[in-house]
């Protein structure tokens, strides 16, 4: 049973404080992702969990065991980093077996464990190759097999898929997620790729310069961003400037009416809303287009606009629309009927429950 419990963790490089007073609990068996743009502190936090960096203050526990000052090799962690080094003069089998031998797994079990691990990452039959005779993607898969085969109590991965091409990346991320669930290893996965995070994780911590902006499951993070930063970083989002009129206030989860240019928009508050500037966020796939004179259904905001650009992508039709107040927005509709060509006068429908209002 290995939960990871981080308490008041502060990590510095000299005078530069990268992470300050971080509290975070990762559950036993969880696939937990640290997501955020380059430089926000993901690698620093992961390397501190691994024991390569000693925090300035605070503690890290694996379950009840305080590992803050325990060296890396005594933490029973498996690691995969972006440029994981395999022993170049040893075969794939020997590379994968390395951790098993160090852990004194009975010799008779080793070949089956290696074969299973290699099969899982799509590398069955490559056991006798040397790393130099493998492509970059294949080497990364061997590195993964080597980390996973030891059944570590904690698996730490730092952007392990970033060097792979799209097709391989999707295949391997499925293998990793599947294997992680089967073995139940508590996993901390670092990525800057939001789709990877959504696809693989039980929970995601979205970072913004060393602190957690939003923490939640993929659905939560995608459907209910807490800020324009979160909405913008995860998936496509229309982030529209709005004004909260004098005398209007509302709490998280309540409905609220705000000014969007000369229009009014009814939406749901994602934070405490008080008079002043703010944002309304709506995902492209939650918006629909209707003819200029069409009746407006209940529970929908209708904003007039003109189609600037329309493209047909088979499953969906995408539009860029100039709204009457000058804002441009993106809409993605499942294809059903002929759609609206460029220059059409239209109304854009924003369902009220999908129009999220947040403070700026």
Ligand X SMILES: Nc1ncnc2c1ncn2[C@@H]1O[C@H](COP(=O)(O)OP(=O)(O)O)[C@@H](O)[C@H]1O
Q: Residue numbers of the site for Mg ion (CB under 5 A)?
A: 43
Query: What Rg do the C-alpha atoms of the chain give, in angstroms?
Result: 25
Q: Which residue in 33, 43, 214, 250 binds ligand X (CB under 6 A)?
A: 43
Give least dist CB 68 to ligand X, A: 18
41 binds, among ligand X, Mg ion, none (CB under 5 to 8 A by kind): ligand X
DSSP β-ladder status, 238-244 and 276-282: antiparallel
Q: Residues 215 to 244: which contact ligand X by CB under 6 A?
A: none
Which residue, 39 or 88, has its beta carbon nearer to ligand X? 39
Which residue, 40 or 114, has its beta carbon nearer to ligand X? 40
Considering the rule CB under 6 A, would residue 18 count as an interface residue with ligand X?
yes
Considering the rule CB under 6 A, would residue 54 count as an interface residue with ligand X?
no
Give least dist CB 231 to Mg ion, A: 23
51 binds, among ligand X, Mg ion, none (CB under 5 to 8 A by kind): none
Which residue, 40 or 144, has its beta carbon nearer to ligand X? 40
The tokens for 102 are: 């160090």
Considering the rule CB under 6 A, would residue 42 count as an interface residue with ligand X?
yes
Considering the rule CB under 6 A, would residue 11 count as an interface residue with ligand X?
no
Considering the rule CB under 6 A, would residue 131 count as an interface residue with ligand X?
no
The tokens for 333 are: 């509709």
Q: Report how far residue 359's alpha carbon sits from residue 272's, in angstroms, rounded to the nearest whole number.
A: 7
Print burial letters for 305-327: b (CB count within 10 Å at least 16), e (below 16). bebeebeeeeeebbbbbebeeeb
Considering the rule CB under 6 A, would residue 38 count as an interface residue with ligand X?
yes
Q: Which residue in 4, 24, 40, 221 binds ligand X (CB under 6 A)?
A: 40
40 binds, among Mg ion, ligand X, none (CB under 5 to 8 A by kind): ligand X
The tokens for 103 are: 């852990």
Which residue, 117 or 206, has its beta carbon nearer to Mg ion? 206
Instruction: Tell me the CA distances in angstroms from 139 to 79, 81, 164, 307, 351, one per residue in order.
Output: 14, 12, 11, 48, 48
The tokens for 65 are: 């065991």
Q: Which stretch binds ligand X (CB under 6 A): 12-20, 170-178, 221-229, 245-253?
A: 12-20
Sign of CA dihedral 76, 82, 87, 92: positive
Considering the rule CB under 6 A, would residue 180 count as an interface residue with ligand X?
no
Could you tell me the maximum CA-CA distance found in the chain, to the nearest angstrom? 76
Instruction: Tell me the CA distances in angstroms from 8 to 23, 83, 274, 288, 303, one per residue in order.
Output: 5, 30, 31, 45, 47
Tokens 């392990």, residue located: 160
Residues that bind ligand X (CB under 6 A): 13, 16, 18, 36, 38-44
């Amino acid at each position: 049973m290995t939960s990871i419990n981080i308490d008041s963790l502060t990590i510095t490089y000299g005078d530069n404080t990268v992470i300050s007073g971080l509290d975070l609990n990762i559950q036993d068996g969880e696939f937990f992702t640290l997501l955020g743009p380059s430089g926000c502190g993901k690698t620093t936090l992961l390397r501190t969990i691994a024991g390569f960096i000693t925090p300035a203050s605070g503690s890290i526990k694996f379950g009840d065991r305080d590992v803050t000052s325990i060296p890396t090799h005594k933490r029973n962690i498996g690691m995969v980093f972006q440029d994981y080094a395999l022993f170049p003069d040893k075969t794939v089998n020997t590379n994968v077996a390395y951790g098993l031998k160090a852990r004194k797994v009975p010799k008779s079990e080793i070949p089956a464990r290696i074969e299973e691990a290699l099969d899982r990452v799509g590398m069955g039959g490559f056991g006798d190759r040397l790393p130099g005779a493998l492509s970059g993607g294949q080497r990364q898969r061997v590195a993964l097999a080597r980390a996973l085969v030891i059944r570590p109590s904690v698996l730490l991965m730092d952007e392990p898929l970033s060097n792979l091409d799209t097709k391989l990346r999707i295949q391997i991320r499925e293998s990793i997620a599947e294997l992680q669930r089967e073995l139940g290893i508590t996993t901390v996965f670092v990525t800057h790729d939001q789709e990877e995070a959504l696809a693989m994780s039980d929970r995601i911590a979205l970072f913004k310069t060393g602190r957690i902006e939003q923490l939640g499951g993929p659905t939560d993070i995608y459907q209910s961003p807490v800020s324009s930063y979160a909405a913008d970083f995860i998936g496509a989002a229309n982030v529209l400037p709005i004004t909260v009129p004098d005398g209007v206030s509302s709490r998280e989860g309540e409905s609220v009416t705000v000014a969007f240019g000369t229009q009014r928009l009814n939406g749901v508050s994602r934070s405490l809303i008080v008079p002043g500037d703010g944002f309304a966020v709506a995902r492209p796939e939650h918006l629909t287009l209707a003819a200029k004179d069409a009746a407006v259904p209940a529970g929908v905001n209708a904003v007039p606009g003109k189609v600037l650009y329309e493209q047909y992508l088979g499953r969906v039709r995408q539009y860029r629309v100039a709204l009457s107040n000058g804002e441009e927005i993106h809409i993605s509709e499942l294809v059903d009927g002929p759609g609206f060509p460029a220059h059409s006068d239209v109304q854009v429908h924003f369902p009220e429950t999908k129009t999220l209002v947040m403070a700026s």
